[in-house]
Amino acid sequence: MQPGSTGAGATRRPIRELPDELISQIAAGEVVERPASVVRELVDNALDAGACQISVRLLAGGVRLISVEDDGCGILPNELPIAFKRHATSKIDSLTELESVSTMGFRGEALAAINSIADCALLSRVCDQNHAYILDGQSGEIKAAARSVGTTVEVKELFFSTPARRKFLKTDATELAHCVEAVRRHALARPDVGFTIWADGKQIEQWRRCGQRNSLPALEQRLADVLGSDFVARSVWIDYGGNASGRTDSGIRVWGRAGLPDAARARADQQFCYVNERFVRDKVISHAVRSAYEDVLHGQRQPVYVLYVEIDPARVDVNVHPTKIEVRFRDSRDVHQAVRHAVESALATPRSDSVNAATAFATERTNGTADAPRYDPQNVPPVLAQKAQKAIHLEAKWSVNDVAALWPSQAQTDKPQTPPVALEPGQPVWPLGRALGQLQGIYILAENARGLIIVDMHAAHERIVYERLKSQAHSASGSHLPLPSQPLLMAVTFAASPLEIACAEAHSATLHWLGLEITPFSAKTLAVRAVPAALAHGDAVELARSVLAELSQHEASTVMARAHNEILASMACHGAIRANRHLSIEEMNALLRQMEATERMDQCNHGRPTWRQLSLRELDALFLRGR
Ligand code: ADP
Ligand code: MG
């Protein structure tokens, strides 16, 4: 028997302390599963540094490069090497502080772990210095460099030293998607911070700063930007324990937006939960939400929601998971109750599409608690305020459906009730009357107090879609915002000319702004992967072709400035209802109500009238009545 070997054949080896490098590599195994984990840690750090604007740049799904740039407080040059040390942090220095930590980070291990499995550099400048310093994570060398105040962390060739782990990575596209998801999670928690994501040299996401940290209008804007305006349209506010009443007895505030039951999905991919601005997966919270939906959601459907829980940091332990994605509540029963109650009462608020916005804020709850949200004009998101105004103005008695509802798939899910006969005295008067029927699949005939209304349904719908696209695409300051985009479940491919393919590549940034993602699929085909949310139910290929045709007539540089509206108009034309589409009376009425609520409704985008009135007098004249 060899000295040191045991009877069972295993060799006894001396106990040794592991070298620092190896300890960090082991820690990295817990902290860094994939590029997205690095992105999350670096964005955490940027937020902790008080950044207002964060840019994330990725090459090859983050495997070749992850760079996160912020305009936060920066790091002093003499502290740069310490930042890369294990268990080095500026965020806590006692157990008491650990127990009530309010920063995203506190374990002081992320940078060390990442530096042990990648080629890192730390570039930073603090405000009273006139230049920046850059630290090379491998050599430890520090040099002067140029940069404005803030920090850039560069992580190259992730897992280069641990090829076994690299093998676990999926395709670049999948890793990229996870990285984007990581930023998205941060973005939903912090509407007061702007985020940009670049992938392989192209800007793929931009979420502008929307306002103050805790403002509802800012939050609504951010939710619409990140999750799509459809998410906002099909969800209601949750607000429990907030506003004037302050925190409830339990000291827990819960707010956010809960998706309406018909917005539920097959997968649980739109459930975002935050505890004190930290994205978490928590069984207590998800169970509470699930039970709040019990009455209204059946089967396997997954509700969509974005939920923020605010609780005294001393009552939640965030140090139970290396990536801090799990937390433990000291009194989970209180949390469960607060969340369940918050979501339940949000869902119980009466609503129809038309009065949705108004009721979300204005209605006293039937099961009202002292802390139910009250209508506070100071605190209503502008979009909601407008909608509420309109809804009240129209005295909506029946659902004014969303434009999108005119598309068959949606129209079925949310049937408006039968309209009241509006022509009797005392009834609300709809300027465009109530629909009688359709003529040749082209015109809608309606009756109002003056006589007969004839509507060109394509022209009218085109205007509605166009105005909606414009309002989504232009900020108040006149700059262009990217249109909310909706990824297609299945990319649609089509045979494309070389010119179209070249155009799609040259204009990919513009296409992105237009809410479109059109990428080469093979040498002769293009794939449409995302379309503007407002046109989600139209013909994606038709839309892609027409936009590419528009774009090929313009210089890339002038498109955004000059041709933007023209392109939106052509998109609207494609998104609008075609002739020969059969509409039900309800759908026709919905269109009429939409028309009444849309600016510049009287002409279509090409200047043709969208509707005409034939007065009774004119009709009489036609029939030589009364002569
Ligand atoms: P932790 O975030 O848990 O403190 P990290 O390893 O992520 O640990 O970071 C170590 C330290 O480096 C932080 O405590 C912070 O002082 C500093 N640091 C890291 N990133 C930034 C940044 N973007 N801006 C300013 N300081 C930073
Ligand atoms: Mg950190």
Amino acid present at 42:
L
What 3-state DSSP class applies to 324? coil
Measured CA to CA, the distance from residue 254 to residue 232 in angstroms comes to: 18
- How confident is the model over 599-608, as a mean pLDDT? 70
Q: Which ligand is nearest to the CA of 46?
A: 1
pLDDT of residue 6: 59
Question: Does the pLDDT of residue 403 top 50, yes or no?
Answer: no
The Å distance, Cα 120 to ligand 1 centre, comes to: 14
User: How far, in Å, are 405, 423, 447, 509 from residue 426 at the CA level?
Assistant: 29, 9, 17, 53
H helices within 394-448, ranges in order? 408-413
The Å distance, Cα 161 to ligand 1 centre, comes to: 23
Tokens, residue 413: 């899910």
Question: Does the pLDDT of residue 402 top 80, yes or no?
Answer: no
pLDDT of residue 453: 93
Of the candidates 283, 227, 284, 282, which has an alpha carbon nearest to the alpha carbon of residue 256? 227
Of the candidates 239, 317, 335, which has an alpha carbon nearest to the alpha carbon of residue 278? 317
Measured CA to CA, the distance from residue 600 to residue 607 in angstroms comes to: 10
| Band of pLDDT at residue 30, cut at 50, 70 and 90 | confident
pLDDT of residue 467: 82
Q: Which ligand is nearest to the CA of 70?
A: 1
pLDDT of residue 253: 94
Atom of ligand 1 nearest to the CA of 112: 6
Tokens, residue 416: 């408006």
Atom of ligand 1 nearest to the CA of 88: 10
| Band of pLDDT at residue 295, cut at 50, 70 and 90 | low
Least confident of 440-444, 470-474, 603-607: 603-607
pLDDT of residue 352: 33
The Å distance, Cα 218 to ligand 1 centre, comes to: 27
- How confident is the model over 191-195, as a mean pLDDT? 97
429 CB-near residues (< 8 Å, 6+ apart): 422, 448, 449
446 CB-near residues (< 8 Å, 6+ apart): 432, 433, 434, 435, 436, 452, 453, 454, 455, 588, 592
Tokens, residue 489: 């479940």
| Band of pLDDT at residue 425, cut at 50, 70 and 90 | low
Measured CA to CA, the distance from residue 41 to residue 112 in angstroms comes to: 11
User: How far, in Å, are 116, 121, 125 from residue 137 at the CA level?
Assistant: 9, 5, 17
Half-sphere exposure of 374 (CA within 13 A, CB side): 9
The whole-chain average pLDDT of the chain stands at 81
- Per-residue pLDDT of 477-504, as tens digits, reads 667 778 889 999 889 999 888 888 888 9
Residue 483 has phi, psi (to 5 degrees) of -70, 140
Q: Which ligand is nearest to the CA of 111?
A: 1
Bridge partners (DSSP) listed for residue 254? 240, 309
Q: What is the DSSP letter of 267?
A: S
The Å distance, Cα 26 to ligand 1 centre, comes to: 20
Q: Which residues surround ligand 2, an ion (CB under 5 A)?
A: 45, 105, 110
pLDDT of residue 95: 87
Does an H or E element contain 448, and which?
strand 443-448
pLDDT of residue 274: 97
Nearest CA to ligand 1 atom 16: 90
Q: Which ligand is nearest to the CA of 113?
A: 1
18 CB-near residues (< 8 Å, 6+ apart): 26
The Å distance, Cα 106 to ligand 2 centre, comes to: 7
- Per-residue pLDDT of 543-569, as tens digits, reads 898 888 878 776 655 666 556 777 787
Measured CA to CA, the distance from residue 292 to residue 420 in angstroms comes to: 34
Q: Which ligand is nearest to the CA of 101?
A: 1
Q: Identify which of 70, 73, 80, 90 to mutate to test ligand 1's pocket (most ligand atoms within 8 A of the CB).
A: 90
Q: Which range scores top for mean pLDDT: 207-211, 393-397, 426-430? A: 207-211
Instruction: Give residue ranges with CB within 6 A of ligand 1.
Output: 41, 45-46, 49, 70, 72-75, 83, 88-91, 105-112, 151
Nearest CA to ligand 1 atom 13: 89
Question: Does the pLDDT of residue 417 top 60, yes or no?
Answer: no
Tokens, residue 568: 């939106």
Of the candidates 27, 133, 129, which has an alpha carbon nearest to the alpha carbon of residue 88? 27
Between 459 and 140, whose confidence is greater? Answer: 140
pLDDT of residue 195: 98
- Per-residue pLDDT of 266-282, as tens digits, reads 888 899 999 999 999 99
407 CB-near residues (< 8 Å, 6+ apart): 537, 538
244 CB-near residues (< 8 Å, 6+ apart): 374, 376
Nearest CA to ligand 1 atom 17: 83
Question: Does the pLDDT of residue 383 top 50, yes or no?
Answer: no
- How confident is the model over 582-597, as a mean pLDDT? 89
What 3-state DSSP class applies to 83? helix
The Å distance, Cα 436 to ligand 2 centre, comes to: 64
Q: Identify which of 80, 98, 111, 319 to mutate to test ligand 1's pocket (most ligand atoms within 8 A of the CB).
A: 111
Q: What is the DSSP letter of 606?
A: T
pLDDT of residue 441: 84
Asked if 156 and 64 count as a contact pair (C-beta separation under 8 A), the reply is yes
The Å distance, Cα 159 to ligand 1 centre, comes to: 21
pTM of the model: 0.60
Q: Which ligand is nearest to the CA of 106?
A: 1
Nearest CA to ligand 1 atom 7: 110
Question: Does the pLDDT of residue 248 top 70, yes or no?
Answer: no
H helices within 425-495, ranges in order? 457-473
What 3-state DSSP class applies to 331? coil
pLDDT of residue 93: 87
Q: Identify which of 24, 38, 48, 186 to mutate to test ligand 1's pocket (most ligand atoms within 8 A of the CB).
A: 48
The Å distance, Cα 191 to ligand 1 centre, comes to: 22
Atom of ligand 1 nearest to the CA of 114: 6
Asked if 468 and 478 count as a contact pair (C-beta separation under 8 A), the reply is no
User: What's 20-40 look like in SS3?
Assistant: HHHHHHHHHHHHCCCHHHHHH
Measured CA to CA, the distance from residue 463 to residue 604 in angstroms comes to: 5
The Å distance, Cα 44 to ligand 2 centre, comes to: 6
Whether the CA torsion 504, 509, 510, 511 is positive or negative: it is positive
Atom of ligand 1 nearest to the CA of 110: 6
pLDDT of residue 332: 92
The Å distance, Cα 98 to ligand 2 centre, comes to: 14
pLDDT of residue 559: 60
Residue corresponding to tokens 């005409």: 612
